[in-house]
């Protein structure tokens, strides 16, 4: 892959890169489309990265279907699939890790210790192998997007990072390979995740509510009396340091992680809090 | 610098890189000569990297002389000097670090906590900025050489690492910017560091001594009754995992760090332990 990229670059070709864990869905296909718009050659990596899974997480059950993925890549004009194995990516005595501090402390970083260290390490490795001009990630993994942009800036990695919007089912459920774990009933009910984000947006933009604790309390009520749903977190952070904030201002991310049956689903929206909004007194 | 490197590479030029902390001496000039042999364009960075100094170390006193360095670079055919400042390398809210685990645990990693994290982070950053085809480091910083080769391998960084031999004064003292801290008397007496390494080599290769503890005891005697000399460490490690070993075999590094007055000096030699050597019984 590294030699192939080097020879493509020597020919003056630009490379767009979409790193994935496979089991591709319309969300991935939208990332591929974005990559095509930004570069002449599109590389998709398919690798379920063990370093980003905790010991009690779903690494062994994570859905895989390489033949279907290959077909989807072909149909969507992908030029190169990079499909390494664990022995190539983490050989014996592997020892090097990349950490982004602070931004990985809360949200998924709090409930999945080591997850982002695994993500930033594999993305750094994949960038060095694929040598892309641009790389496309989904807004669905909102904290990941902020962390990768920070890593690229801090380490001066010469790759343009493009964040593509979340693709949703008609009922609002964000597309995710982990939706496969849902029963048909859960899949229908899981639309409440997006409804919760919309409620937050409504409270902030239409009602002028700027206290995070009030917004989170209101949102949490949507998950009450739902035995299949367990809140992992519902949090509002700034998008620069990714720290929880109480008094909202500037650009914020409302993010949640909810267990729905066996599946842990995440979703988020970015909101620009209007400057001239006058906070209500409670 | 990044744009300049990109345009040089677009012209098909190869880039050789010598990262330094400045205050150049003949050791650096030998690295520059090696870079010229391996690439068409030679870039030298001069940056006293605060991330690799501990809070009680010599960051503020570390010798600096940019005008003399510029002159030496010009005289030695350096094409580009990259001379960033702290605000460019570690701006506010800087958060990303690269760690090589295990190999950084002993030797200087034990007595200078965080030192190698600083080294691997800055080298990663400089590689992303300078985009070299090859980079030259000195064997004098023996653990650093092993750690950087490991980082490059693990992260698939497309840079060839060249380790150039240690340059010594006539009395054997390894050249180092920190030799500036020595009085003329200390500078003369500091030849004992290299004599200690030679004694170790003699014991292993000529006497067949393969017990590290015996070798280290013998070497330590050279520093007894020398009030200006304090041993930080004298250790023998394997060159793969950089772990202390007692029974010598394969490729080993005999390394030492000695305080001489105010200066902390390091030196090392790599020894291939002969396969057919029969250990003595003690």
Cβ contact, residue pair A101, B98, below 8 Å: no
Residue of A28, A36, A106, A115 with catalytic role = A28
> String of b and e for A263-274 (b: at least 16 CB within 10 Å)?
bbbbbbbbbebe
Minimal C-alpha gap between A97 and chain B (Å) = 5
Best mutation site among A95, A120, A239 for testing chain B: the one with the most B CBs within 10 Å?
A95
Question: Residues of B with CB below 8 A from A102's CB?
Answer: 93, 95
The domain total for chain A is 2
Q: What is the mean pLDDT of residues B268-273?
A: 98
Question: Residues of A with CB below 8 A from B124's CB?
Answer: 155
In 3D space, the residue among A92, A134, A117 whose CA is nearest the CA of residue B98 turns out to be: A117
When the pLDDT of each residue in chain A is averaged and rounded to a whole number, the result is 96
- Residue A106 is among the residues annotated as catalytic for this protein: no
Cβ contact, residue pair A101, B97, below 8 Å: yes
- Is there a domain that residue A105 lies in? yes
pTM score of the predicted model: 0.96
Cβ contact, residue pair A128, B155, below 8 Å: yes
Is A276's pLDDT higher than 70? Answer: no
> Domain with A196 in it: what CATH number?
3.30.1300.10
- Is there a domain that residue A281 lies in? no
Which of A104, A132, A164 is where one domain is finished?
A164
Minimal C-alpha gap between A156 and chain B (Å) = 6
- Is there a domain that residue B276 lies in? no
Helices B66-75 and B26-38: crossing angle in degrees, nearest 10, is: 40
pLDDT tens-digit map of B67-109: 999 999 999 999 999 999 999 999 999 999 999 999 999 999 9
pLDDT tens-digit map of B125-143: 999 999 999 999 999 999 9
Residues B264 and B231 in one domain: yes
> Domain with A78 in it: what CATH number?
3.40.50.620
Residues B135 and B263 in one domain: no
Cβ contact, residue pair B101, A100, below 8 Å: no
pLDDT tens-digit map of A184-222: 999 999 999 999 999 999 999 999 999 999 999 999 999
Encoded tokens for B270: 């790599």
Q: In a 3-state reduction of DSSP, which class is residue A107? A: coil
Which of B164, B186, B218 is where one domain is finished?
B164
Question: Residues of B with CB below 8 A from A96's CB?
Answer: 98-101, 120, 150-151, 154-155
pLDDT tens-digit map of B202-260: 999 999 999 999 999 999 999 999 999 999 999 999 999 999 999 999 999 999 999 99
Q: State whether the Cα torsion A157-A106-A281-A220 is positive or negative.
A: positive
Q: What is the DSSP letter of A182?
A: S
Q: Is some CB atom of chain B closer than 8 A to the CB atom of A151?
A: yes
- Is there a domain that residue A95 lies in? yes
- Is there a domain that residue A278 lies in? no
Domain span at residue A70? 2-164
Question: Residues of A with CB below 8 A from B131's CB?
Answer: 158
Closest residue of chain B to A90, computed from CA coordinates? B154
Residues B133 and B225 in one domain: no
pLDDT tens-digit map of B151-178: 999 999 999 999 999 999 999 999 999 9
CB distance A120 to A100 below 8 Å: yes
User: Residue B275 — very low, low, confident or very high, per pLDDT cuts 50/70/90?
Assistant: confident
Residues A108 and A248 in one domain: no
Residues A142 and A54 in one domain: yes
pLDDT tens-digit map of A34-89: 999 999 999 999 999 999 999 999 999 999 999 999 999 999 999 999 999 999 99
Q: Is some CB atom of chain B closer than 8 A to the CB atom of A241?
A: yes
Cβ contact, residue pair A128, B102, below 8 Å: no
Q: What is the pLDDT of residue A275?
A: 80
Is A277's pLDDT higher than 60? Answer: no
Residue B198, number of CB atoms within 10 A of its CB: 14
Cβ contact, residue pair A154, B6, below 8 Å: no
Minimal C-alpha gap between A14 and chain B (Å) = 12
CA A8 vs. chain centroid, Å, equals 28
On the 0-12 / 13-18 / 19+ scale of CB atoms within 10 A, B69 is: buried
In 3D space, the residue among B58, B63, B75 whose CA is nearest the CA of residue B20 turns out to be: B63
User: Residue A281 — very low, low, confident or very high, per pLDDT cuts 50/70/90?
Assistant: low
Nearest CB among A2, A125, A154 relative to B96 is that of: A154
Show which residues of B are catalytic. Answer: 28
Q: Is some CB atom of chain A closer than 8 A to the CB atom of B67?
A: no
Q: What is the mean pLDDT of residues B114-133?
A: 98
Separation in Å, CA B99 to CA A106, A115, A124, B104:
21, 16, 13, 9
Which residues are registered as beta bridge partners of B100?
A: A96
Question: Residues of B with CB below 8 A from A241's CB?
Answer: 93
Cβ contact, residue pair B99, A97, below 8 Å: yes
| pLDDT above 90: percentage of residues in chain A | 96
Residues A216 and A249 in one domain: yes
Residues B187 and B94 in one domain: no
Residues B226 and B159 in one domain: no
Cβ contact, residue pair B128, A157, below 8 Å: yes
| Chain B (85-124) residues lying within 8 Å, Cβ to Cβ, of chain A | 93-103, 120, 124
CB distance A205 to A279 below 8 Å: no
Cβ contact, residue pair A98, B93, below 8 Å: no
Residues A158 and A228 in one domain: no
- Is there a domain that residue A13 lies in? yes
Closest residue of chain B to A104, computed from CA coordinates? B95
Cβ contact, residue pair A94, B154, below 8 Å: yes
CB distance A220 to A231 below 8 Å: yes
To 5 degrees, how large is the angle CA B33–CA B38–CA B39? 100
On the 0-12 / 13-18 / 19+ scale of CB atoms within 10 A, B12 is: exposed
Q: What is the pLDDT of residue A116?
A: 98
Which residue carries 């599946």 as its tokens? A263
Residues B101 and B241 in one domain: no
| pLDDT above 70: percentage of residues in chain B | 98
Three-state DSSP string of chain B: CHHHHHHHHHCCCCEEEEEECCCCCHHHHHHHHHHHHHCCEEEEEECCCHHHCCCCCCCCCCCCCHHHHHHHHHHCCCCEEECCCHHHHCCCCCCEEEEECCCCCCCHHHHCCCHHHHHHHHHHHHHHHHCCCEEEEECCCHHHHHHHHHHHHHCCCCCEEEEECCCECCCCCECCHHHHHCCHHHHHHCCHHHHHHHHHHHHHHCCCCCEHHHHHHHHHHHHCCCCCEEEEEEEEEECCCCCECCECCEEEEEEEEEEECCEEEEEEEEEEECCCCCCCCC
Which of A134, A164, A194 is where one domain is finished?
A164
Helices A192-205 and A212-221: crossing angle in degrees, nearest 10, is: 150
Best mutation site among A1, A92, A96 for testing chain B: the one with the most B CBs within 10 Å?
A96
- Is there a domain that residue B10 lies in? yes
pLDDT tens-digit map of B8-64: 998 999 999 999 999 999 999 999 999 999 999 999 999 999 999 999 999 999 999
Is A282's pLDDT higher than 90? Answer: no
Residues B243 and B121 in one domain: no
Minimal C-alpha gap between B153 and chain A (Å) = 9
C-alpha Rg value of chain A to the nearest Å: 19
- Is there a domain that residue A282 lies in? no
CB distance B86 to B20 below 8 Å: no
Residues B100 and B188 in one domain: no
């Amino acid at each position: 892959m590294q030699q192939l990229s080097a020879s493509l670059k020597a020919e003056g070709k630009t490379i767009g890169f979409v790193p994935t864990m496979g089991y591709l869905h319309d969300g991935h296909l939208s990332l591929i489309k974005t990559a095509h718009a930004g570069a002449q050659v599109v590389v998709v990596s398919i690798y379920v990265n063990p370093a980003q899974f905790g010991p009690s997480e779903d690494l062994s059950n994570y859905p895989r279907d390489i033949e279907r993925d290959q077909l989807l890549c072909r149909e969507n004009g992908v030029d190169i699939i990079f499909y390494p194995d664990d022995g190539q990516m983490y050989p014996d005595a592997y020892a090097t890790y990349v950490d982004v501090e602070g931004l990985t402390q809360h949200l998924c970083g709090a409930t999945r210790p080591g997850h982002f260290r695994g993500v930033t390490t594999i993305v750094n490795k994949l960038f060095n192998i694929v040598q892309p001009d641009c790389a496309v990630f989904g807004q669905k993994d909102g904290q990941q997007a902020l962390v990768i942009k920070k890593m690229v800036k801090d380490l001066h990695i010469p790759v343009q990072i493009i964040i593509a919007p979340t693709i949703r089912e008609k009922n609002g459920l964000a597309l995710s390979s982990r939706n496969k774990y849902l029963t048909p009933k859960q899949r229908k009910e899981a639309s409440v995740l997006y409804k919760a984000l919309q409620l937050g947006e409504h409270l902030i933009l239409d009602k002028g509510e700027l206290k995070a604790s009030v917004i989170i309390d209101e949102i949490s009520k949507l998950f009450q009396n739902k035995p299949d749903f367990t809140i992992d977190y519902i949090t509002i952070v700034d998008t620069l340091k990714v720290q929880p904030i109480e008094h909202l201002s500037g650009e914020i991310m409302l993010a949640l992680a909810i267990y729905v049956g066996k599946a842990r689903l995440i979703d988020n929206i970015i909101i620009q809090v209007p400057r001239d909004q006058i906070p209500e007194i409670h």
